[in-house]
Chains A and B, each alone.
Chain A
Amino acid sequence: GDSVTQMEGPVTLSEEAFLTINCTYTATGYPSLFWYVQYPGEGLQLLLKATKADDKGSNKGFEATYRKETTSFHLEKGSVQVSDSAVYFCALRVQQGGSEKLVFGKGTKLTVNP
């Protein structure tokens, strides 16, 4: 079935370091792909998305490119800030039989130190 495999955490970086969080997926067809961010004690917020191959989603300095050939959607940021400390979830949208749902990876906890 459809699944998302995400880089295990936790990840600890210093401020201004480069960030990569790997995400690969298994799916039928070409699903839409998402990155969500969850700050402590809060719900999920959509960070960025891509709906077709070679699309690049970007927001707040974060980027991810939909790579069909490698079934990947890695999250990157050139210079992280302390305020980026959160849990990041990669997800794909499954649509079948009149239904729709998101399938999530396990999440990667990022801590950025000053």
Chain B
Amino acid sequence: NAGVMQNPRHLVRRRGQEARLRCSPMKGHSHVYWYRQLPEEGLKFMVYLQKENIIDESGMPKERFSAEFPKEGPSILRIQQVVRGDSAAYFCASSLGQGASYEQYFGPGTRLTVT
């Protein structure tokens, strides 16, 4: 059973370009979470999605950032008009459900560099 897949693993964008980060959850998982890790920092929650629904986007910047998890295909985190401060590692996690019985499994991350 493949783990959480993220691509690309590394992404370089110039300021003002768009970045699209993809996350394929583990098979059978319908809950997806995105976290951002700034250099020398812990992970910060960004958004929680279930199939076709955004459950909680309280950690997402209000502008330029959006996320989706369509019925078919991977979850996408989209950053428009990137700035240098967006340089970070973005991790996706997936789970079977909510609650103490369910664990979040993390992908390897996408390291975004904005030049």
Q: Is B45 a contact partner of A102 (Cβ separation < 8 A)?
A: yes
With A51-B100, A95-B99, A101-B33 in contact, is A107–B42 under 8 Å at CB?
yes
A106 on interface, CB distance cutoff 8 Å: yes
A69 on interface, CB distance cutoff 8 Å: no
Secondary structure of the A contact surface, majority rule: strand
Q: Is B42 a contact partner of A46 (Cβ separation < 8 A)?
A: no
Q: Is B56 a contact partner of A101 (Cβ separation < 8 A)?
A: yes
What are the interface flags for A72-114 relative to B under an 8 Å C-beta threshold, 1 for contact and 0 otherwise?
0000000000000000010001010111111111110000000
Residue on A nearest B42 in the bound complex, by CB: A104
A99 to B54, CA, bound (A): 10
What are the interface flags for B93-115 relative to A under an 8 Å C-beta threshold, 1 for contact and 0 otherwise?
10000111001111111000000
Across the A-B interface, how many residue pairs have beta carbons closer than 8 Å? 60
User: How extensive is the interface on chain A, given as a class?
Assistant: 20 to 34
Q: Is A105 a contact partner of B42 (Cβ separation < 8 A)?
A: yes
> CB-CB < 8 A to A102: which residues of B?
33, 35, 43, 45, 93, 104
B48 on interface, CB distance cutoff 8 Å: yes
Residue on B nearest A45 in the bound complex, by CB: B106
B12 on interface, CB distance cutoff 8 Å: no
> CB-CB < 8 A to A104: which residues of B?
35, 42-44
What are some 19 contacts across the A-B interface (CB < 8 A)? A4-B42, A32-B100, A43-B107, A43-B108, A44-B106, A49-B103, A89-B43, A95-B98, A98-B56, A99-B48, A99-B55, A99-B56, A100-B98, A101-B48, A101-B56, A102-B104, A104-B42, A104-B43, A107-B41
